[in-house]
Structure 1
Amino acid sequence: KGRTAICELLDLSDRIREMILEKRPTSEIKKAARDEGMRFLRESAVEQVMHGVTTLREINKVTFVE
């Protein structure tokens, strides 16, 4: 057994950058990020489960549900 990375990356587009500077609610920024194609940490982890790389039990240890 080894380790594998799960990650999320926020691409700071002009739209998202402006939203942050305007101190818009986190929920709005997350929605905009998702609309622009961002995958969140838990989604990345679930994909690893679907590929047989890890288990739901393991991802539940290292991620949390909002």
Structure 2
Amino acid sequence: KKPPRPPNAFILYRRSKQPDIVAQNEGISNNEVSKQVGEMWHKEPLEEKMKFQRLADAAKMEHMKKYPEYKYR
């Protein structure tokens, strides 16, 4: 089984926002969660996006340590 891809900034942002959206919208589909989070992401200031980019960079470095032979495709 091949290792998963490291998460990007948006994936990390979505993970952080999903619990609140689901709590406020019982029975919401994953597609609708993604749509709402996408709209939120586009409205976020650059500083907030950069916070998640730094987290993604750290996750990528950790991924490289854990899976040194990993290559995307």
TM-score bracket for the superposition, by shorter chain length:
0.3 to 0.5
TM-score, reference length from structure 2: 0.33
TM-score, reference length from structure 1: 0.35
Which has the bigger relative contact order, CA under 8 A and spacing at least 6?
2
